[in-house]
Amino acid sequence: MSKIIYIKKWLYCVCFLFSCSCKSDKQEELKKEEKMMEITESKPVDVKTRLLAYTDFNYELISNGIIESTRSADIRFLSQENIVKIHVKNGERVNKGQKLAEQDNFKLDNAMKQAVEAFEKSKLDLQDVLIGQGYSLRDSVNIPKDIMKIAKLRSNYEQSRNNYELAEYNLKATTLYAPFSGIVANLSVKEFNAPGSEPFCTIIDNHHIEVTFNILENELSLINLNDQVLVSPFSSHEYLERGRISEINPLIDKNGMVKVKAMLNSKENRLYEGMNVKVRVQRILGKQLCIPKSALVLRANKKVVFSIKNNKAKWNYVQTAQENTENYVITEGLALGDSIIYEGNINLSHDVPVIVKK
């Protein structure tokens, strides 16, 4: 019996010592955390600030669009003679009137010579008919119209002239020229092959491009002609092209969409025909109190902006209205001239010392 009592006492002692050690460990951990918090709170945080001011706010309407050239032309050969020389390649820039390619013109050149000969013969026949009527071809102004018409029919003059003009046109068409300045695209034919039914190439005027995009019916009242647009390719969001709305189609399709076009001021030619792009239509809503989006943080699901006062961060609950890709419009919580923190505010708390970076 005494042995059992001894064992129980020994177990009680062990449990007591273990609980004491756990409490001491927890107290040490709490002390360490408090020390870390004190160190963190006492260490100033580097931040960037800006003064809150009234600035022009651009309301933005976001859409997806496709780049199109205002001018593009499919270039074709009229005949199926073999191509003997190609002077350009895909992606090459050409000037208006520049030679693109040439066909074998032996047959058409021969047809041209025959047409010239036939036309010259018809001129002689016309002169013979007029002389028979007592007139001279040199004095054609004084020849009655009905007599001249009959003389041309008898000499086959008009048909010979038409054949000559057609032969001349066909011969010139064996050489292709650029109708305007642009870049070459869709060139797949090779030398010493017939051109086939497809166009030889396409010339695209990439100095005059536009973007076509759709907006919802209820967004139609938010845009006007000449509103500014910002366009960026999905492959490179940092690259931006600016433009103005040039056309609003006055028709709503079965899906409730309206087609809009905007002319772009492209100078670097980094936007290509058919490229998918992101379109932002901007409309100025006047002067507003605006903050950068990076200045707003969430604390307990509430919108908070930190300002600076006496080199300490101050916690401000705010209310926002419209927003665009860069800014929020502030309606409550801040005042004109407040110095707000827009960088280094992710882990800030109230009254934390801060240092403003320049």
What are residue 280's DSSP bridge partners? 62, 230
Query: 52 and 81: one domain?
Result: no
Estimate to the nearest angstrom the gap between the alpha carbon of 273 and the chain centroid: 9
Token duo for residue 109: 């050149």
Query: 80 and 190: one domain?
Result: yes
Q: pLDDT averaged over consecutive 10-residue blocks of the chain (358 residues)?
A: 49 49 47 45 82 90 94 94 96 96 96 96 90 79 86 92 96 96 94 93 93 93 91 88 94 94 84 93 88 92 93 93 89 93 91 88
Rounded-to-integer distance, Cα 256 and Cα 191, Å: 49
pLDDT of residue 11: 53
Token duo for residue 240: 């931006």
Q: Provide the CATH number for the domain around residue 297.
A: 2.40.420.20
Query: 212 and 65: one domain?
Result: yes
Residue that finishes a domain, picked among 285, 315, 341: 285
Residue 37 in any domain: the answer is no
Query: 250 and 211: one domain?
Result: yes
> What stretch of H or E contains 199?
none
Q: Provide the CATH number for the domain around residue 244.
A: 2.40.30.170
Query: 350 and 337: one domain?
Result: yes
- Answer for the pair 207, 262: CB distance below 8 angstroms, yes or no: no
pLDDT of residue 291: 94
Residue holding tokens 């943080």? 297
- How many structural domains comprise the chain? 3
Query: Strands 257-264, 241-252: parallel, antiparallel or unpaired by DSSP?
Result: antiparallel
Rounded-to-integer distance, Cα 109 and Cα 105, Å: 6
pLDDT of residue 12: 53
Residue 351 in any domain: the answer is yes
Residue that finishes a domain, picked among 231, 264, 285: 285
Residue 188 in any domain: the answer is yes
Range of the domain at 87: 74-204
Residue 53 in any domain: the answer is yes
DSSP per residue over 46-115, as a string? EEEEEE--EEEEEEEEEEEEEEEES-EEEE--SS-PPEEEE---TT-EE-TT-EEEEE--HHHHHHHHHH
Query: 200 and 211: one domain?
Result: no
Residue 165 in any domain: the answer is yes
Residue 215 in any domain: the answer is yes
Nearest to 115 by CA among 155, 79, 162, 147: 162
Query: 280 and 238: one domain?
Result: yes
Query: 141 and 188: one domain?
Result: yes
Residue that finishes a domain, picked among 264, 285, 306: 285
Residue type, 291: I
